Amino acid sequence: MNLTDIVQTRYSTKEFDATKQIPSEIFAQLKDLLRFSPSSVNSQPWHFIIADTDEGRKRISKGTQGLFAFNEAKVLNASHVILLCAKTQIDEEYLGHLLETEEKDGRFAQSTFKETVHKGRSMFVNMHRFDLKDAQHWMEKQVYLNMGTVLLGAGALGVDALPIEGVDTKTLNEEFGLLDKGYSAVALIALGYRKETDFNAALPKSRLPEEEIFTILP
């Protein structure tokens, strides 16, 4: 596997072939990428709604009406669509849930490590909750780590993908009752296989030159 080859050939798919489905064993790997994506202090402030049926994709497409109608066909014709959601709050109960899960999974080689981890995580969480007052934005940034991980993983697996921010998150929050569950819609990822008529597939990559975006320290 050559990562340079993958990033130079993957692209934002504009037209999916509705007749092609991602094999279950391939999508299982993409689900693992979502679950095992990194997050700040292992906060994992996310939830994912996955649609792989006509009915499910139709429900998600409710967020691609009106202003966002240009994305409707991409949702409806994809094999799988993932709605990425972020938590709306991160409280002491959730911090305790994380800690107990980590303990069950054997993360603490010594009993004292549990309290050390809790104090360290609480410091960062409370900094965003009470000092910076940007906890919601901070949690949404963690969800974008999932998006980047899945896009690269999809490219490595030969799956075409499209990140979609052009979506009515308010409509999707209502459709899936997300706010009542403690989550809010952030963005979508459509996954599948391109149609031969997808204009974007053959276009060359355009990125700023290395000398403009990299500073190499001596």
Q: What is the set of active-site residues?
A: 14, 74, 165
DSSP string computed for the chain: --HHHHHHH--B-S-B-TT----HHHHHHHHHHHHT---GGG---EEEEEE-SHHHHHHHGGGGSGGGGGGHHHHHHSSEEEEEEEES---HHHHHHHHHHHHHTT--SSHHHHHHHHHHHHHHHHIIIIIS--HHHHHHHHHHHHHHHHHHHHHHTT-EEEEE--S-HHHHHHHTTTGGGTEEEEEEEEEE-B-TT-GGGGSPP----HHHH-----
Residue 218 tokens, joined: 């001596």
Strand ranges across the sheet with 160-164: 46-51, 80-87, 183-192, 160-164
